[in-house]
């Protein structure tokens, strides 16, 4: 059989996590917490199982969860979305993204993707016959050059993909970015796919620029979220997509034949857990504390931090340590010093290597301390 993805290998997250396990290294590579979720969340899911919520959920998700999400959207972004027609529960954020692309990308359609790009975006577009149009973010600020974006738009441009807060860089979109985006979307009638799985992980008092805040943009958008990232349960693979009814109607046509519906007891548990806004409102402070602690510890190393405004990733330059390529460096640090990270070149199709690696700080203080103790020797 001819491969549909001839240039795609194993995802860097699998590669680095496997190496970390093999080397018994501290794993700051793949993005997941090393602490458990709230006991109450587990109890709520257990209770749902005991109450016999164990058969298929409705295709778009159980109504109490969709209602709880609509309430959260109202609390966080002062926007009304319809639980009935505009929200669909998905098995994770990555699935939510794939399904949006499968819903609207036809062979020949061009999709604008900014690099460094989360590693599923490009294969998702390719497997659906689309053409990724890759635009580098500025270095080292990792911002969007909107003039460059405008110059890449053609009659085939169908969609622009965004990710804020951004993985792997921790940059966030500003209100000015939104103004620029609004202009292009209106002028060229583009669709927007906005990956906002780190929506609550925004620091230093900034406001998350969700597409949901902007009705003009939302009209043309799919916005995707992750309970895994929000409530420290990445292994549950639970997320959702919000889109205006006319787009969501098409989205559900695809979703119903991809997985049909999502884990029922977990949906019940999450619906109840969302009733307490503190469960998500406490997240910026919780993770900012981890970022600050990690940065403080790292001052005693020869790594140089780049700014991190959101997400649970911290980029570090290592040019004071070595001139090796970032993959070789990340592998060597894992093997020789016992700390795994992600080389940022893995997020560029052409392998652009700015000698930067990504650390995940969604870890217990003790884990960060142990890791930095080792990184001091690098």
d(CA 4, CA 249): 28
Please give the helix or strand (H or E) that residue 115 lies within, else none. Answer: strand 110-115
120 vs 352, beta carbon nearer ligand GLN: 120
Q: Which is nearer to ligand GLN, 109 or 199 (CB)?
A: 199
The phi, psi pair for 36, rounded to 5°, reads -85, 165
Least separation in angstroms between CB 356 and ligand GLN = 15
CB burial of 160-176 (b: ≥16 within 10 Å; e: otherwise) equals bbbbbbbbbbbbbbbee
CA dist 7 and 90 (Å) reads 28
At its nearest, how many Å lie between ligand GLN and the CB of residue 32?
A: 7
Q: Which two tokens stand for residue 353?
A: 């290597």
Residue 167, interface with ligand GLN (CB under 6 A)?
yes
> Is position 343 an interface residue for ligand GLN (rule: CB under 6 A)?
no
Could you tell me the smallest distance in angstroms from the CB atom of residue 196 to ligand GLN?
13
Nearer to ligand GLN, 12 or 375 (CB): 12
Q: Which of 57, 193 has the CB closer to ligand GLN? A: 193
CB 156, min distance to ligand GLN, A? 29
CB-CB contact of 87 with 240 (8 Å): yes
Strand partners, 304: 317
3-state SS, residue 31: coil
CB of 28 or CB of 185, closer to ligand GLN: 28
- Count of C-beta atoms within a 10 Å radius of residue 207: 12
Q: Of the two residues 167 and 169, which places its CB atom closer to ligand GLN in the complex?
A: 167
Under the binding rule (CB under 6 A), the answer on residue 341 touching ligand GLN is no
Does 31 engage in binding with ligand GLN (CB under 6 A)? yes
CB within 8 Å of 252: residues ≥ 6 apart: 59, 60, 88
Quickly count: other Cβ atoms within 10 Å of residue 371's Cβ.
Answer: 25
Minimum CB–partner distance for residue 167 and ligand GLN (Å): 5
CB of 31 vs ligand GLN, minimal distance in Å: 3
For the bound state, the minimum distance from the C-beta of residue 333 to ligand GLN, rounded and expressed in Å, comes to 17
Number of residues that bind ligand GLN (CB under 6 A): 5
Q: Is 13 in the site for ligand GLN (CB under 6 A)?
A: yes
Q: Which residue's CB is nearer to ligand GLN, number 33 or number 60? A: 33
Torsion of CA 241, 201, 174, 86, to 10 degrees: 20
Nearest to 106 by CA among 129, 132, 134: 129
Closest approach of Cβ 82 to ligand GLN, in Å? 29
Q: Is the distance from CB of 25 to CB of 338 less than 8 angstroms? A: yes
Which candidate, 342, 97, 278, 340, places its Cα nearest to that of 197? 97
| Residue 301 is a binding residue for ligand GLN (CB under 6 A) | no
Q: Would you say 137 or 178 has its CB closer to ligand GLN?
A: 137
* Residue with smallest beta-carbon separation from ligand GLN: 31
Binds ligand GLN by CB under 6 A, chosen from 26, 28, 30, 269: 30
| Footprint on this chain of ligand GLN (rule: CB under 6 A) | 11, 13, 30-31, 167
């Amino acid at each position: 059989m001819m491969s549909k993805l001839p240039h795609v290998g194993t995802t860097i997250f699998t590669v680095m996590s496997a190496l970390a396990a093999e080397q018994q290294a501290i794993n700051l590579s793949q993005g997941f917490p090393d602490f458990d979720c709230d006991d109450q969340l587990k109890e709520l899911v257990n209770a749902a199982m005991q109450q016999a919520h164990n058969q298929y959920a409705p295709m778009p998700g159980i109504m109490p969860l969709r209602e709880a999400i609509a309430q959260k959207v109202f609390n966080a972004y002062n926007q009304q979305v319809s639980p009935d027609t505009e929200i669909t529960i998905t098995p994770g954020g990555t699935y939510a993204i794939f399904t949006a692309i499968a819903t609207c990308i036809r062979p020949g359609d061009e999709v604008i993707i900014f690099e460094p790009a989360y590693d599923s975006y490009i294969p998702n577009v390719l497997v659906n016959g689309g053409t990724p149009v890759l635009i580098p973010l500025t270095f080292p600020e990792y911002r969007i050059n909107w003039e460059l974006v405008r110059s890449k738009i053609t009659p085939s441009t169908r969609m622009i993909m965004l990710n804020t807060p951004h993985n792997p860089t921790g940059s966030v979109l500003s209100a000015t970015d939104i103004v620029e985006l609004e202009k292009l979307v209106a002028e060229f009638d583009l669709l927007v796919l906005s990956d906002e799985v780190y929506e609550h992980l925004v620091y230093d008092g900034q406001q998350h620029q969700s597409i949901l805040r902007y009705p003009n943009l939302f009209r043309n958008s799919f916005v995707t979220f992750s309970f895994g990232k929000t409530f420290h349960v990445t292994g549950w693979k639970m997320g959702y997509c919000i889109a205006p009814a006319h787009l969501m109607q098409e989205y559900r046509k695809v979703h119903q034949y991809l997985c049909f519906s999502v884990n029922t007891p977990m949906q019940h548990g999450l619906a109840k857990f969302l009733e307490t806004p503190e469960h998500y409102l406490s997240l910026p402070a919780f993770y900012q504390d981890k970022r600050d602690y990690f940065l403080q510890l790292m001052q005693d190393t020869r790594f140089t931090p780049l700014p991190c405004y959101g997400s649970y990733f911290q980029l570090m330059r290592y040019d004071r340590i070595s001139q090796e390529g970032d993959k070789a460096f990340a592998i060597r640090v894992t093997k020789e010093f016992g700390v795994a990270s992600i080389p940022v070149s893995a997020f560029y199709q052409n392998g652009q290597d700015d000698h930067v690696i990504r650390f995940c700080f969604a870890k217990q203080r003790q884990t960060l301390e142990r890791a930095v103790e080792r990184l001091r020797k690098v």
